[in-house]
Amino acid sequence: MQGIWTTERIRAAEDRLLAVTPDGELMRRAAFGLGVHAADMLAEHTGSVSGRRVTLLVGSGNNGGDALWAGAFLRRRNVAVSAILLKPERAHGPGLAALKRSGGKVVSLEDGPQWIRRADLVVDGIVGISARGPLRPDAAALLEHVSSPVLAVDLPSGVDPDTGAVDGPAVVADRTVTFGALKPVHALAPASCGEVSLVDIGLRLTDPDLQRLDTADVAAAWPMPGPDDDKYSQGVVGVAAGSATYPGAAVLAAGAAVRATSGLVRYAGHAADVVRGQWPEIIATGSVTDAGRVQAWVVGPGIGTGNEGRDVLRFVLGRGVPVCADADATTIIARSPDVLDARDPDTPLVLTPHAGEFERLMGSPPGADRVAAARSAARKYDAVVLLKGHCTVVAAPDGRALVNTPRGSWLATAGSGDVLSGLVGALLASGLDPWLAAGAAAHVHSLAGSLAADGAPTSASGILAAVPDAIRSVRPPTS
Ligand SMILES: NC(=O)C1=CN([C@@H]2O[C@H](COP(=O)(O)OP(=O)(O)OC[C@H]3O[C@@H](n4cnc5c(N)ncnc54)[C@H](O)[C@@H]3O)[C@@H](O)[C@H]2O)[C@H](O)CC1
Ligand SMILES: [K+]
C-alpha cells in the first residue's frame, strides 16, 4: 500500500531531518529533482530543453525556494528562466541569489503576464504545504495568463493540501513533483495534480494517516480458485436486491457478485425470475428466509425503503455474517437506526453511501474533508464506510482509511453502485477483511469503469461486463 501523510506529520518529519542535515541541503535535493522533471516536461512538450523558456511563479516560502533553486539548475541546461516574485521582499534569499548567479531573470509582478504567456513551461512555486485558504488574488490573477504546461512544486497552489478541496482559483497542473512523501491532496485531487512524481529527499515516515491500494495489494486480496476449491469454499454470497418493478438493480448487483469470484451466488427477492434468466448460475429464490446459508449478504439496491425492505434488512443483519448495506438499505438505516439492533455487534457491516445517503446517515453532507467525514460515520455506525465520490474513501471503525484515486469519472452512471455492492459482497463472502474488501472492490470497480468507457461514456452494464478484464489487469492469468 502507498502511505500518505498529513502536512502536519510531514512537517514534523522534515523538521527532524532538517535538524541533522546541512542548511539548505534538503531544499537543493528537492529542487534538483524538480529541475529534472522540468527538463523532462520541456523535452516532452517542445522536443528540446536548451533555449526553452521557463517562468517561475515564486511565493514567499520554501515552496518558492524550491522553484528558484530548480530555476538555477535549469540555467545549467541553457534554459531561459524568469522568476515572478509574488512578495519580492520575502522571496527565499538563497534561492533567489542562486537564480541570479546562474543568469536567471527576476521580473516584476506587473510584467509577469507577458513572461507567463511566452513560457514553454510554468512552474508553480506559489505555495506548498503551508497553504491556508484560497489562492490570494495577486497569485490568482497570474493564473489567467497560463497557456503552457504547468509543473506544480510539491502540490498545486490553491488546492487544500490535506483534503484536496478546491474552493476558489487554483492551479491545474500537468505534473506535480512532491518531496519526501505523498500528501492527501495527491490522492484526493487527481484533476488538479496531474501526474504525481515523488522525489526522495531522505524523509522516513511510518504509520501513514491515509493509504492507497496499489495493484499488488488488490491482486493479493482478490480470491482466485485453487485446486482444493469448490463452489462453496470460496464463499457464498447472498444478494437481497431489486423488486418485480425494478429488477435491474438485482441483475446488476447479483451479476457483479457472479463476475467477482468463482464462489456461489444466491439471490433472494421479487426479481428471482429475471435474475435467473440473466444469470443461470445463480440460485434464486423469492425470499431471504428461503435463501439458505451464505457467508455474506449484499442488501439494499432496489429493495425499497418501506416495511418490507426494512424486514429484509433486519433479517439479513441478524444472520451473523458480514453485510454490505447499499442504496435503500442505507436510507432505511438512516431513518430507522433501530434496525441495526438486529445485528450482532461482531457482525461486520459495510455501508456504501454516496454524498446524499451520507447526509441522511450523518445529518450533514461530507464537506471538504471527506476522509474525516468517512471516519466519523465509521465510528458512529461501527461499520466500514465506503464514501463514494470522484475519489472513493474507505474508512474503518478502527481509524484506518484508504482512498481510491479514480481513472476518470466513468462510474457516474445509473446502476454503477449496484455493481460495486455486488463486488463488495463477493469479497466479504471470501473472508477478506471488510475494509480491504471494500477498498479492493472500489479499485476493480474503478478499473472496470475506465476499461468499459475506453474514452467514451459507458453504462453500468458496460462496467459489469468489464469486471473480468479489470481483475485480469491486476492479476494476469498464470496459466
Ligand atoms: N522544510 C524544508 O526544508 C523543505 C521544504 N520544502 C518545500 O517547502 C514547502 C513548505 O514551505 P513553507 O515555507 O512552510 O511554506 P509555503 O512555501 O508552502 O508557503 C508559505 C507562504 O505562502 C503564502 N501562502 C499561504 N497560503 C497561501 C495562499 N492560499 N495563497 C497564496 N499564498 C499563500 C504565505 O504567505 C506563506 O508565507 C513545501 O511545500 C516544499 O515545497 C521542500 O519539500 C524541501 C524540504
Ligand atoms: K505549489
Longest Cα–Cα distance in the chain: 81
Please give, one letter per residue, the 3-state secondary structure of the chain.
Answer: CEEECCHHHHHHHHHHHHHCCCCCHHHHHHHHHHHHHHHHHHHHHHCCCCCCEEEEEECCCHHHHHHHHHHHHHHCCCCEEEEEECCHHHCCHHHHHHHHHCCCEEECCCCHHHHHHCCCEEEEECCCCCCCCCCCHHHHHHHCCCCCCEEEECCCCCCCCCCCCCCCCCCCCCEEEEECCECHHHHHCHHHHCEEEEECCCCCCCCCCEEECCHHHHHHHCCCCCCCCCCCCCCCEEEECCCCCCCHHHHHHHHHHHHHCCCCEEEECCCHHHHHHHCCCCEEECCHHHCCCCCEEEECCCCCCCHHHHHHHHHHHCCCCCEEECCHHHHHHHHCHHHHHHCCCCCCEEECCCHHHHHHHHCCCCCCCHHHHHHHHHHHHCCEEEECCCCEEEECCCCCEEEECCCCCCCCCCCHHHHHHHHHHHHHHCCCCHHHHHHHHHHHHHHHHHHHHCCCCCCHHHHHHCHHHHHHHHCCCCC
Measure 180 CA to ligand 2 centroid, in angstroms.
Answer: 15
| pLDDT for the residue numbered 31 | 98
| d(CA 117, ligand 1 centre) in Å | 25
Output the residue whose Cα is nearest ligand 1's atom 44: 27
- Kindly give the distance from the C-alpha atom of residue 208 to the centroid of ligand 2, in angstroms, as a whole number: 22
- For residue 23, the tally of other CB atoms under 10 A from its CB is 8
Protein residue closest via CA to atom 18 of ligand 1? 128
Closest CA to 471 of 279, 224, 187, 213: 224
Please count the other Cβ atoms lying within 10 Å of the Cβ belonging to residue 31.
30
Burial group, residue 110, by CB count within 10 angstroms (0-12, 13-18, 19+):
exposed
Q: So what's the pLDDT on residue 479? A: 56
pLDDT at 360: 97
Which residue pairs from 18-24 have beta carbons closer than 8 angstroms and sit at least 24 positions apart in sequence?
Answer: 21/202, 24/94
Compute the distance between CA of residue 82 and CA of residue 68 in angstroms, rounded to an integer. Answer: 9
Ligand 1 pocket: which of 56, 58, 60 to mutate (most atoms within 8 A of CB)? 60
- Alpha carbon 15 to its chain centroid, in Å, reads 28
Nearest to 172 by CA among 140, 200, 198, 211: 140
Q: Which ligand 1 atom minimizes the distance to the CA of 27?
A: 44
Residue nearest ligand 1's atom 39 by CA: 128
- For the chain, how far is it from start to end, CA to CA, in angstroms? 26
432 forms bridges with which residues in the sheet?
A: none
Residue 399 CA, ligand 2 centroid: distance in Å: 29
Amino acid at 448: A
Q: What is the ipTM of this complex?
A: 0.95
Closest atom of ligand 1 relative to the 134 alpha carbon: 29
Distance, CA 160 to ligand 2 centroid (Å)?
11
Q: Pocket of ligand 1, candidates 57, 68, 130: which has the most ligand atoms within 8 Å of its Cβ, to mutate?
A: 130
List the residue whose alpha carbon is closest to atom 41 of ligand 1.
Answer: 63
Give the ligand with the smallest distance to the CA of 125: 2
Are the C-beta atoms of residues 279 and 253 closer than 8 Å to each other? no
Distance (Å, rounded) from C-alpha 143 to C-alpha 127?
Answer: 13
Cβ neighbours of 204 (radius 10 Å): 10
Distance CA 395, CA 5 (A): 15
CA of 404 from ligand 1 middle (Å) equals 27
Distance 110 CA to ligand 1 centre (A): 23
The ligand with the least distance to the CA atom of 179 is: 1
Helix axes 355-362, 370-381, angle to 10 degrees: 50
Ligand 1 atom at minimum distance from 135 CA: 30
Determine the Cα–Cα distance for residues 442 and 440; give it in Å rounded to an integer.
5
By alpha-carbon position, which residue is closest to atom 11 of ligand 1? Answer: 62
- Ligand 1 cavity residues, CB under 6 Å: 14, 18, 26-27, 30, 59-64, 66, 126-136, 139, 153-154, 179, 201
Sheet containing strand 265-268, strands side by side: 2-4, 210-212, 401-404, 392-395, 384-387, 349-351, 323-325, 296-299, 237-240, 265-268, 283-285
Ligand nearest to the CA of 152: 2
Please report, as a single letter, which amino acid is at residue 315. Answer: F
Please give the distance of CA 320 from its chain centroid, rounded to a whole number: 31
- The rounded Å distance from CA 195 to ligand 2 centre is 14
Distance of CA 209 to the CA centre of its chain: 14
Q: Which residue has a Cα nearest atom 5 of ligand 1?
A: 62
Between CA 87 and CA 78 the distance in angstroms is: 27
CA-nearest of 350, 345, 351, 309 to 330 is 351
Task: Please state the pTM of the whole predicted model.
Answer: 0.95
Q: What is the pLDDT along the chain (479 residues), one digit of tens a residue?
A: 999 999 999 999 999 999 999 999 999 999 999 999 999 999 999 999 999 999 999 999 999 999 999 999 999 999 999 999 999 999 999 999 999 999 999 999 999 999 999 999 999 999 999 998 889 999 999 999 999 999 999 999 999 999 999 999 999 999 999 999 999 999 999 999 999 999 999 999 999 999 999 999 999 999 999 999 888 889 999 999 999 888 999 999 999 999 999 899 999 999 999 999 999 999 999 999 999 999 999 999 999 999 999 999 999 999 999 999 999 999 999 999 999 999 988 999 999 999 999 999 999 999 999 999 999 999 999 999 999 998 999 999 999 999 998 877 888 889 999 999 999 999 999 999 999 999 999 999 999 999 999 989 999 999 999 999 999 999 877 65
What's the grid cell of residue 202?
531522505
